[in-house]
Structure 1
């Protein structure tokens, strides 16, 4: 009969620090997407205002979906920050319980969203070439 207590595995600080670095990378990326969206919206507004000043009327080709595209980028960036937080907390719990299983679903969904947004942006910009 063995009377020894089970040894509780020790927590590895480098795993937790790597999880935090990954979370911060997701946050930086989400901030970059939101900043890009903001610039797209404000640049469209700037072009509209400068055309009024120079020509006395709005001179913009097409329907002008820049504001919609910019707002979409800001929304995707905000959603990305929220999902990054949930992924961070879930991974932290798995690391603490020593049950970590990698999940690539968030990466796949966000990659597909960015590819779709890029395709729509290319489609929108092609007529202006």
Structure 2
């Protein structure tokens, strides 16, 4: 015996086979899902790298503080002016926070794009990807790379 809830659930789903052309749309749904999961993996990597960059900057500041304290012959207590500088954000931590923010924004965009493509496929329409996100992502990545190069050059001087 089939439950009424099962029938309602099956009515909500679009058939996988396009009646007009006879094409199986399962591959389109699966490709959309794979693309979404690839975006999420990328977002996780960007967020993780941003976290590492932000935490590593904190580690470097603490390490520098310990080394200057020991080399100066001062006791192991942290001077007040040095400990207050730990709360300020260095360029590395700001870069890390920016990467975490970028990962979150890309995750939201990828979900939006996944739902939009899913609806188009369900309605038997033709999904045409927008090229604008590729241009924005490429320009952002180039800008980010230039900022990192400038920062590394300034730090090494």
Alignment match of 1:116 (pick from 127, 143, 148): 143
The partner residue of 2:52 within 8, 28, 39 is 39
Determine the C-alpha separation between the residues in 2 that align with 1:49 and 1:83: 36
Matches of 1:81 and 1:48 in 2, distance apart? 31
1:103 aligns with 2:141: no
2:100 maps to 74
What does 1:1-129 correspond to in 2, within 5 Å?
7-8=19-20, 11-56=24-69, 64-99=90-125, 100-129=127-156
Alpha-carbon displacement from aligned partner over 1:7-57 (angstroms, at most 9, x marks no partner) = 455551111111011001111111111111111110000011111222218
Asked whether the equivalents of residues 40 and 66 of structure 1 are also in contact (C-alpha less than 8 Å), the reply is yes
Structure 1 unpaired stretches of 5+: 1-6
The TM-score normalised by the length of structure 2 is 0.69
The answer for the alignment partner of 1:4 in structure 2 is none
**118-127 or 81-90, which deviates more:** 118-127
Runs of 4+ more than 6 Å apart: none
Q: How many Å separate the matches in 2 of 1:105 and 1:39?
A: 30
Asked if the contact 1:38/1:70 (under 8 Å) is kept, the reply is: yes
| TM-score, normalised via structure 1 length | 0.82
Q: Is the 8 A contact 1:33 1:76 kept in 2?
A: yes
